[in-house]
Structures are given as structure tokens and as C-alpha cells.
Amino acid sequence: MAEARDLFSGIVKRHQRRASRIAYHYLGDAAESDEAVQDAFVKVFTHIGSYREELPFEVWFTRILINGCLDRRKATGRRLRWITPMGDTDVDSRPAPPASGGGSPEGRLLAQERQRAIAQAIERLPGRQRTVFVLCHLNDCSPREVSELTGLKESTVRVHLFRAVRKLRKLLGGMP
């Protein structure tokens, strides 16, 4: 194990700078980029057994890194869409997305009303649909990860997610 750690340390030193540049290009934030690079190295270390030698290591590693960066960007977009402050409830301590009303009092009020309606609609979802939706869209879990967390089949998770999104659209009606 010590030898493997030493060898992996060399891999990290060799690819760290390039990986940081790539991640920064995708994410535009130094702290977020550092986390993405660290996550990519952890994935490489834990999945090194699945590495195929016909593929250059740099290509394999870069794919893992880029996919991780893209996942982070998608997660940020979902958070900005779904996670919003709701008032004085325990859900309200979440960070607020930028106000869509240009900072005007009317725009902020409309954004707060929209956020409150979304939170209430999520609360009206049936239990499993709500759980799957929250894990996928608010906690950035993949359907496979949700399947492992809940013990449901991955196809069942996808069905619950589809139904949850459809019901939310119906509950929110013509909301912009």
C-alpha cells in the first residue's frame, strides 16, 4: 500500500498543474477547480483497477476530470434554479441565487414568491418522488447513486424522477 501511495503521489505531481488549468477553464473559480481536481484524483485512485492500458492515462484522467467539471457546472445551475431561501423555515438557510429582477425590490419580491411556490410544490410531491427529486436535483446525485442510497432499482429511480418533474410542472402551472 505504501508503494502504491508513492507511485500515485508521482502521478498527482505530474498531472496536477495541467488538471488545475483544465478545471479552471471549465469552472472559472479557483476553489471549485481545486475541489474538482482533487475529486478526479480520488476517482482515479479508487477506480485504477478499471483503467485500460490501450488508452493513454492522460486521456482517461482528463475524461474523468472534465466529466466531473461538467457535473459541477450542471449542479450549480440546478442549485441556482431550485435552492432558494423560503422565509423562516428550516429550508430557508440555503444560499439564494442572484435575483432575477435586476436587484429591484419588485424583482426580489417576485423571486421570493417564485422560490416559495417551488418549495411548496416540492413538499407536495409523494414521499419517494420527493426523495428522488431532492437527491437528484438538489444534492447532485446521479440516478445510480440514488439507487444505491435508497435501495430502489435505477430504472425505478428514473421513473420517480420523471413523475416528480412532471408533477412539479403541473403544480407550478404557468410559473415563469
Residue 68 sits in the same domain as residue 93: no
**44 SS3 class:** helix
70 and 18 together in one domain: yes
Verify that 125 and 166 share a domain, yes or no: yes
Express each pLDDT in 25-63 by its tens digit: 778 788 999 999 999 989 988 887 777 777 778 778 888
CATH at 53 = 1.10.1740.10
CA 119 to chain centre: 19
DSSP, res 135: I
| Residue pLDDT, tens place only, 59-78 | 788 888 888 988 888 887 77
Beta carbons of 36 and 69 less than 8 angstroms apart: yes
CA distance linking residue 67 with residue 49, whole number of Å = 19
Task: Looking at the structure, tell me whether residues 40 and 61 fall in a common domain.
Answer: yes
Domain containing residue 142: 89-172
For 19, residues 6+ apart whose C-beta sits below 8 A from its C-beta are: 37, 40, 41, 61, 62, 65
Q: Which residues contact 70 (CB under 8 A, 6 or more apart)?
A: 26
Q: Are residues 40 and 63 in the same domain?
A: yes
Number of domains in the chain: 2
Same domain, 21 and 75: yes
At 146, which CATH number?
1.10.10.10
